[in-house]
A and B are shown apart, each in its own frame.
Chain A
Amino acid sequence: MTRSKKVGQQTFMFSRPLPIIGTATVVGKKEGEGPLGEYFDQVVTDPLFGEKSWEKAESKMVRTAIQLAMQKVNLAYGDLDFMFGGDLLNQIIASNFAARDVPVPFYGLFGACSTYTEALSLAGITLDGGFAARVLVTASSHYQTAERQYRFPTELGVQRKPTAQWTVTGAAATIIGEGGSGAALTCTTVGKVVDMGIKDVNDMGSAMAPAAVATIKQHFEDTGRGPDYYDVIATGDLGSLGKALAQEMLAEAGYDLSKNYTDCGVLIFRPDQDVHSGGSGCGCSATVFSGYFYSGLLSGQYSKVLLVSTGALLSPTSYQQGESIPCIAHAVAVEKV
């Protein structure tokens, strides 16, 4: 080791920019009809995607996103050294079952809705460490699979609270490493678990906001950068309430994010799409970044993006036992090169 890549407490500066080779996104009907619809590669109108169950459909979305990404960049599985992927389901079956058809060494991850930046972060560390030349990153979520696992059967007639969020149906695949150009990973700030005692499972944004604030603050402290360094700082799925809370707490800490802060959960749906506080799920930040922000980086609309995916690390068992919701946020900086 010549010089430590670690700066400050939780941040790793990569020794060189790690270029993104390509991305692909597959989303559901509602996401396709949302404001970012045109940025997604494929819109699947059938929640079952021609399969027998929603779980199989989610897995097929992951597989399809991988295939699309490979075709776009004209690579074969043999060109990839690792796949990092995860989703929200028990035992991450959407990713594990998709990886069954992908002959690439596989690390399955669970970081709840933070999985996408968790995977990007690990991909960056693996590439920069010289352990791989090209890495595939995936993340997915599906409205129906998440509802039935975490909440109620989808046909149950219940009223949602205004703080509730709508799980994004979507999968994204991102390939990073040798041969890429345009946009590149430059550093990552790895989050710590933060639990501010929120127990309301219908209000994930409030539970996750402190984790996002902690990671963003740490990122600024470690790197010496301020909010103005980035064209856009995007949290993963705090929704409108969580976003307002995060912005307020960061302002109190002396970081003014009023000009360039947004949230993928707020971007992906229109308020009139009956989604209450906004989108959520691993697929939320994964598809918004791989679809919208990545194309913005290529077109020159953005040159520096900080993506901070946020995850609520609860399970139905933990909240039924009265536990509060531990949360995490990982940040990845992607810059135009």
Chain B
Amino acid sequence: MGAQDPNLDKKLYYWRVQQKKPRPPVIRNTLLAFTVGGLICVLGQAVLAFFQSLGMTAKEAAGPTASVMVFLGAFFTGLGWYDELGKFAGAGSVVPITGFANSIVSPAIEFKREGFVLGLGARMFSVAGPVLVYGTVTAVVVGIIYWLTKL
């Protein structure tokens, strides 16, 4: 690597790597994500329809539906199946609320060995934490804009 300009060497090497790098199978991944993500949403819709059939309005049924889906995500993470699904479906299993449950339960399981306080308690939100923080911040910003435009 002994050329004069180390930055040029680095740039050239970067391009060399880019040319040799295997590309992820984008079309396959997209189709799988669409299908699996869609199926999870169909399942959610079925649960929602079930709660509505018990006489709840769509708004009332949303809460228990989310709870059921979060439970399922957590349950299958505990069984060690959700990560297998994730390998296969990618974003299709990350984006729905079941993926959110997976992102909280997987570190909870993993860090339990470091104890309930410093392990499970402290690390549980290590993956989902940023989503919660920026989700909340975004909601507040959008809320303020909404309030200002309604004044």
Contact = CB atoms under 8 A, between A and B. Distances in A.
B105 A196 contact: no
Interface of B: 1, 9-10, 13-14, 16-17, 20-24, 29, 77, 80, 82-87, 89-91, 93-94, 99, 102-103, 105-107, 109-111, 113, 127
A183 interface: no
Interface residues of A, number: 30
Nearest to B12: A196
Interface string A128-159: 00000000000000000000100011111111
Contacts of B113: 52-53
Contacts of B102: 155-157
B13 A241 contact: no
Contacts of B21: 162-163, 203, 206, 241
B127 A153 contact: yes
B106 A153 contact: yes
Contact of A157 (B13, B82, B111): B82
Contact of B106 (A154, A159, A160): A154
B10 A197 contact: yes
Interface in A245-281: 245, 248, 274, 277
Given A155-B110, A210-B13, 9 more contacts: A153-B106, A153-B109, A154-B106, A155-B102, A156-B103, A159-B29, A159-B90, A159-B91, A203-B17
Nearest to A276: B22
A312 interface: no
Interface in A13-34: none
A89 to B, nearest CB: 14
B101 to A, nearest CB: 10
B102 to A, nearest CB: 5
Nearest to A198: B17
Interface in A185-200: 194, 196-198
B110 A245 contact: no
